[in-house]
Every structure is written in structure tokens, then in C-alpha cells.
Amino acid sequence: MMNNEKTVIYQMLPRLFANMNEHCVPNGAIEQNGSGKMNDITSTVLRKIKDLGVTHVWYTGIIEHSNQTDYSRYGIRRDNPYVVKGKAGSPYAIKDYYDVDPDIAVNVNDRIDEFEALVDRTHDNGLGVIIDFVPNHVSRQYLSDAKPRGVEDFGVGDDRNRFFERNNNFYYIPHQLFAPAIDLGDGKDAYVEFPAKASGNDCFTAFPTKNDWYETIKLNYGIDYGDGSHHFYPIPRTWFQMLDILLYWAEKGVDGFRCDMAHMVPIEFWQWAVPNVKERHPHIIFIAEIYDVALYRDFIKYGNFDYLYDKVNLYDTLRGIQCHNVSAAQLTHCWQTVDGIGANMLNFLENNDEQRFGSKFYAGDPSLVIPSLVISAFFSTGPMMIYAGQELGEQAVDAEGFSGYDGRTTIFDYWSIPTVRRWLNGGKCNDDLLTGNERWLRDKYRTILRMCNSEKAISSGRFFDLMYVNYDNPTLNPHRQYVFLRSYADETLVIAVNFSSEPCNLKINIPGHAFDVLSLPKGDCVATELLSKDMMRKTLSPDAPFVTEVGPNDAVVWKIKHKNVLSQDKKSTADRRNNIKKR
């Protein structure tokens, strides 16, 4: 990654992304619905993704997880279907930390080689590779058939008669049979677990509900949840095992780990593990999926994470503005909440856990995304992430199976994504099969995401919130419009977003303090609006408003090059010269 490059991540599940089946059936097996393959993510696909402005691809679901497909002929033990969610299973119910999901391999026996080729292909096309690291829990049926020599499976050697023991991998509910509120089958096909193990969502009973993560087992990092005591020294066995897994994938050339539910693992583990990985692989980035704002600063300062999901702060606020009449003025609180660590915040509007922006459960119309997208992408120098199909307005209208019709693209079922399938167009990766609206939207995403690194004010510049001098501005409704500056060296961007369905003609006040802090020149200039490429004469002054129109559900990004700003004194001189010439 080049210096000062803003990270732009494209998340995809290869199983879904590259599946070309147009006739998937709900709850269909892989034989009916098919599965995308790593080999289908060709150089052509990767070049087109990079052309969007992307710097990294997050390949979700690479590591082998439990599913309901029989791969026993390849030496892979078959999973009991009663503790697998969906035919394809959850990518977060890891079955073998040292192996690749057989669903996404053309030749199952060559699945590791195919992954390594995908890594090389991605790098050859100028993109970084991110994969999941799932540290908090494993599949109920974890069994590694690909582990290196000398590595023990999780649970081997555990004292199963104790709820907690420092070197146990799992938490046990002694003398109790696993009895969740789901069907575990009958007879020889039944799933039997004795003694029961705690479930991944910190469910420390033998009786998880269908809403618990019953398909997973919680890993023990040395916290006794019975009395809250910590047992980190000497270092617990689980820590060494997880470090070995991180190093295994790092040595295969990955450039980063998206760490699932990182806050459910003690920060002391990250404090120890991340530097150990970076000592040998200093380029690797660590991204924490985290949902507690109170932990943000500690996970950066002490946990050594490069980036954190900003879900409960910026994402939830943007969703509230779009769906629940939350005031756009709350965006000021968002940057204040992460002031000083904004560059460590990863922003997004969609991912595998969230509902699609265009779904009826969210905005209901993907074309309304521009204000939220501009805020997410331009609010800070931190990473921006999009989810495969988002750039095409995917609305997730299918009831695919286990996940049902919920506005999400399933992660549990064998399925394909209609918009992505049409864009891939048999490997051509063009817009021949896209609608006019889909073409328009993808072009907007391309324009905005590419600006993340083509504009230094976005990738490296400073932020200045203009709302505090515009709350009593009669031209600006602070509940529906938001205005701010981004500035770097001799360039400044004046950015305004409009969440309203009505256009607005804004007269934006820019205070003298902004001119002092950002060293802005004062005067008239010709500015360029980067989304439309319009050029217009503008005034940049603390004594006169910056005037701009913003369309409904739209945004403007006016770029001003300081050397082109003509001060009032110079303007008067120039005007006199022009008058003389005219005479």
C-alpha cells in the first residue's frame, strides 16, 4: 500500500459472488444451486473491481466452515446437519482453521493451491488481500484434517469435568447434555454432545435458543466467566494456537485480517498477538469488528488494531437519518465521538451482517445513497468498505432459504446475487445486462470511491465541520443538510450533502477560524464540482457565503485550488486592467 493511501475495501463471498446460476431454489443443495469458485475471480474481474477505486478485496468465507454438503470422499468429515445453519453453513462456524472451504474450489484436492493462486492474482492486479480471522468461536464440529504436523486440535486434552480451566480450549457445562431449543435429530443421525459446551455468543448453558449461536462453541482465552477472574499468565494454550493460525495465513501472502467479533476476545490477547504477527509481517493490517464505542480507543491504543468498524456510531446515525428522521446535525456528534482516532475508523453502508441499503428494510431505493455514501467515504482518512452488489443497487429481494426474506444477502445458503451475476456477464464484466439505473449508480460509486485517493484532501487532508456557524442559516436545514470542509496543502473541498427529497440553494457560512486553521485564501475563484465536473465562479470568504445548489438526495464537492483564488485587492487591480484593455 502506498504512503497515505486511503484504504478502500471490496467485500465479497466467492461462493455467492461468482455463482452464475440464474435458477437457484430456496434451501437448494450445492448440486441444485451451485457455488462460485475462486478460479472464477479472474484478472478481468479484479481489474474492474480495482477500477472502482478499490485498494483491497476482503474474501469472506475462505477458511473451511461447517456445511451440509458431503465431502467425505475427499477425506473431509461430514457435518451433522442439525447443528449447521443453512445448506451452505455460516462462514463463521469454522471447521478447520488451516484449510480452505471446499465449496469454492474447482478441484477440492487443490483448494489450498487455488487460494494461493487467487492471492497471487489479486496482488498482480494491484490489490491487497484481506481474509477473516474468527477468534471467538469455532464450529460445534471442529476437526482439522489439514493442520500442520505437531498441531493439536481444539479440545484435545481439555478437562471436561470443569466449567473453566486455564488451558482448556472450551467452556464446559459438566454432567449436562447439550439440549438447545432446536431439533437435534433421532437415532444414529442425532447430534449428541456430552458434556455440553458453551455457545459462541457467551451463552454459558446447555440450553441455547434458536436465536443463539448454537452452531458454534466459545473459545477460552483465560477468562473464568463464573467469577470474572482473568488467568492470562502464564499464557493460555488457546493464545499460542491462535497466533499459529494467524502466522499460517500471513505466510500465504494475505495483507490483512478482518477479526470477527474482536471485542468478545480479551484485549490482552490482541495486545500480545498483533505485535507478534507484525514483527514478522509488518505490512499486515488488523481490522476489528467491534460494537462498543467505549472500547474504541483501547482497542487502538492497547489492542494494536489498525482499523475498527464504526457501526454503532456513524453507520447507525446515517441509517437513522435515512430511515427514522434523525437529524443530520447528529453527524457532528459522530466525528466528535471519534475525534483523534477518525483515521482508524472503517466506514460502510453495507456488509454481510447488514441489510442492503436499497432493500425495503432500509432506504427502499438504492439511488438515494449519494448523501450517505459521500459522508461515509469522505468523512475521514480512514477506510471505506462496500459490499459486492452494493455498487449496482442490489436490493436482496430473495428468500434464499435459512435466512429468509430479510433485506440481506444470505451467508447461509447456496445462492447467487442477481445484480452481480448480470454484471459479471459470463466473465465479461460489463454493463450490457445492467439497467440504466444500475449503470448510473455504478458510475457514481466509481466517481466517489476513486476520489478517495485521487484527492489528497480526502486521503490525507484535514476535516472542518461547518455546522456550528450554519445552525441559524435560513437557507440550510440542519436536520436534512450537512456541510463540511476537507483541505490539504493548497486545495480545499467544500462538501454539502442533502438528505431531503427537495433541492436546496445553500448559502454556506465559512468562519474566519476555518481560514486561520486551514490557511485558506480569501477571494474569488473558479471552482470545479467533482461529481458533475461543472465549473463555476465562487467566492471564498468569511464575510460572504459560499453559494451552491444541491439536488434532492444528492451532494456536491466543490474543489478550490488556492493558487486560483484571486484576493479582493488583486481582483480590483485585475478589473482595472481589464477595463483599460477594453478601452
pLDDT digits (tens, 9 = 90+) for 479-535: 999 999 999 999 999 999 999 999 999 999 999 999 999 999 999 999 999 999 999
Instruction: Give the per-residue SS3 of 261-299.
Output: CHHHCCHHHHHHHHHHHHHHCCCCEEEECCCCHHHHHHH
Q: pLDDT category, 566, cuts 50, 70, 90?
A: confident
- Please give the grid coordinates belonging to residue 75: 477425506
3-state class of 23 per DSSP?
Answer: coil
- Please give the grid coordinates belonging to residue 335: 466525528
pLDDT at 560 exceeding the cut of 50: yes
DSSP annotation string for 103-120: GG-SSGGGHHHHHHHHHH
pLDDT digits 0-9 by tens, 61-112: 999 999 999 999 999 999 999 999 999 999 999 999 999 999 999 999 999 9
pLDDT digits 0-9 by tens, 203-242: 999 999 999 999 999 999 999 999 999 999 999 999 999 9
Q: Would you state the pLDDT for residue 3?
A: 58
Residue 206 corresponds to which amino acid?
Answer: A
d(CA 410, CA 356) in angstroms, rounded, equals 11
CB 473 within 8 A of CB 401: no
pTM of the model: 0.96
d(CA 279, CA 42) in angstroms, rounded, equals 32
Q: pLDDT category, 568, cuts 50, 70, 90?
A: low
CB 308 within 8 A of CB 296: yes
Residue range 446-466: mean pLDDT, rounded: 98
Q: What are phi and psi of 400, to 5 degrees?
A: -80, -25
Residue range 273-298: mean pLDDT, rounded: 98
pLDDT digits 0-9 by tens, 369-410: 999 999 999 999 999 999 999 999 999 999 999 989 999 999
Q: Would you state the pLDDT for residue 158?
A: 97
Element (H, E) at 524: strand 523-529
pLDDT at 2 exceeding the cut of 70: no
Cβ-Cβ contacts under 8 Å for 18 (sequence gap 6 or more) = 36, 37, 38, 40, 41, 424
Q: Would you state the pLDDT for residue 578?
A: 42
Cβ-Cβ contacts under 8 Å for 433 (sequence gap 6 or more) = 422, 423, 425
Residue 102 corresponds to which amino acid?
Answer: P
pLDDT at 540 exceeding the cut of 90: yes
